[in-house]
Amino acid sequence: MTSQPTLNTAASGHGGEPSKPGDPGTQGSGAHGSGLQAGLKNRHLSMIAIGGVIGAGLFVGSSSGIATAGPGILLSYALVGTLVVLVMRMLGEMSAANPTSGSFSAHADRALGPWAGFSIGWLYWFFWVVVLAVEATAGAVILEGWIPAVPQWGWALIVMVVLTATNLVSVGSYGEFEFWFAGIKVVAIGAFIVIGALAVFGVLPGVDSDQAGLGNLTEHGGFLPNGPGAILTGVLLVVFSFMGSEIATLAAGESEDPQRAVTKSTNSIIWRIGVFYLGSIFVVVTLLPWDSKSITEKGSYVAALDTLGIDNAGQIMNFIVLTSVLSCLNSGLYTASRMAFSLGQRGDAPKAFARTTERGVPRTAILVSVAFGFAAVFFNYKFPDSVFLFLVNSSGAVALFVWLVICFSQLRMRKIIQAEAPEKLVVKMWLYPYLTWATAALIVFVLGYMLTDTEHDGRTTMLLSLLVAAIVLVIAFVKEKIARGRKAEAAPVD
């Protein structure tokens, strides 16, 4: 029988000296620099938490969901939103008790074993370096449309270089950029909801939209025009736009008050998802019929703005999407580098990943992450229908894998925290353990349903993601077996 992991296992490895959870000075290797530093202010963390749930996928990917499920897409968003709220509550419980840059990967390491922390950490890192390429290309398309003199690949390069430089300066510069990026997203979507709601209820001055009204929810084939099954298909189309909700728990380790930051972001996620996702999608499907061709041709938000007679609606939305893309790139690079840093601390990646500069920046982890991001951008331009398509599909289900690991980690970590430091349970998962098991079962159901989806590439994504996960798991178990063998050889003989 293996011994139960302790709550304050060292961040620097699987068996090192205990460190004080959340103490930035203890989070680095100490070989270079002074470890990660508390460079994020409370306003940075607040906006990172709010902006983390508003990804570019909300603006870009919602049109296909609406076209598939009709107004019933609201139920798809509500279902996934509930799932995210529950998972983030579990993660908040663990992270408030032990804030760390490795977040759920470090928690899985302690709760389930090194193999779990290794596997989910590398899969998460892989997900974000692929996202870097996707978002850099999306941003380059918009920028090339504005300034065609610079080729698309040139814009992708410029965007990646600028945000890499930002992350290399200090964590504070990342926080400042993200504060303004997220601020623009929040203001834009807030204004969209207010203006759209006024138009729906016929009280917006100067706008006479004969399409707007609550009748759009039921008058075009009903609330579920394509049947109840479309709700689950809608779930598959929207679930990945919620990835990023967990970024605040990774960033909390570099904040002035990690426990407070995690608690605040965890407690506020319900209204954040309710307002920004459900609120904005409700406005879209009430401003115009769900089967309007403009939704798929122009995009759901541009089509909605057009019904209000707003000039240059397309360019306004392009600016908002570009801001979201830059925000996602900025956070993606930060998140990937901090996960690589944590893996380096625990001996699951080269030790160089855990070294920091005098400013507390894990430079090697950042450069390696962006190098793979650049490689993925190259594959996107050179082999878009083969290599890059494989990368995108093989990372597609990682979000669900992460959420499932969080569920199982929380089931065991609750017992560890209660046994060792019950006063650290400042955030508690509701109806533990029943709601945790129910959430895990729902995630498994969604993963299984993906295997039946051939129309939207759900099966392909699932199979390729399972293949990559299996490869990482094999590496994890081989690594663990080798480590046990070396430990046995080093043990003194009686």
Q: What is the pLDDT of residues 222-278, one digit of tens each?
A: 999 999 989 988 888 888 888 888 888 888 888 888 888 888 888 888 888 888 889
Q: Cα 200 vs. chain centroid, distance in angstroms?
A: 32
Residue 187 vs residues 242, 256, 303, 312, 384: alpha-carbon distances, Å: 19, 26, 19, 18, 34
What would the DSSP string read from start to end of 11-47? TTSSSS----TT-GGGSS-SSSTT-S---B-HHHHHH
Q: How many CB atoms lie within 10 A of CB 113?
A: 16
Percent of the chain's residues with pLDDT above 70: 91
pLDDT at 302: 86
pLDDT at 144: 92
Mean pLDDT of 3-17: 40
Q: How confident is the model at residue 107 (pLDDT cuts 50, 70, 90)?
A: very high
Q: Mean pLDDT lowest for which of 33-42, 376-385, 433-442?
A: 33-42
Mean pLDDT of 442-467: 91
| Cα 75–Cα 204–Cα 186 angle in degrees, nearest 5 | 55
On the 0-12 / 13-18 / 19+ scale of CB atoms within 10 A, 78 is middle
Q: What would the pLDDT profile of 428-437 be if each residue is shown by its tens digit?
A: 999 999 999 9
Indicate whether 396 pLDDT > 90. no
Q: Mean pLDDT lowest for which of 30-39, 287-296, 448-457, 463-472?
A: 30-39
DSSP at 35: -
pLDDT at 5: 42
Q: Mean pLDDT lowest for which of 179-188, 252-261, 369-378?
A: 252-261
Q: What would the pLDDT profile of 28-59 be if each residue is shown by its tens digit?
A: 444 455 578 878 888 888 788 777 667 667 77
Torsion of CA 156, 133, 332, 81, to 10 degrees: 120
Question: What is the widest separation between alpha-carbon atoms in the chain?
Answer: 89
pLDDT at 16: 36
pLDDT at 28: 45
Mean pLDDT of 346-365: 92
Q: The dihedral of CA 380, 383, 389, 394: what is its sign?
A: negative
Spatial distance between the Cα atoms of 344 and 248, rounded to a whole number of angstroms: 21
Residue 149 vs residues 143, 144, 155, 261, 314: alpha-carbon distances, Å: 10, 8, 10, 44, 21
pLDDT at 33: 55
Tokens representing 201 are 């209820």
pLDDT at 256: 80
pLDDT at 306: 84
What CATH topology corresponds to 24-480?
Amino acid/polyamine transporter I (1.20.1740)
Spatial distance between the Cα atoms of 169 and 179, rounded to a whole number of angstroms: 16
* Contact in structure between 319 and 325 (CB atoms under 8 Å): no
Q: Helix, strand or coil for residue 255? A: strand
Selection from 49-58, 323-332, 444-453 with the highest mean pLDDT: 444-453
Domain borders along the chain are 24-480
| Cα 481–Cα 485–Cα 490 angle in degrees, nearest 5 | 150
Q: How confident is the model at residue 490 (pLDDT cuts 50, 70, 90)?
A: confident
> What is the identity of the amino acid at 199?
A
pLDDT at 23: 40
Q: How confident is the model at residue 206 (pLDDT cuts 50, 70, 90)?
A: low
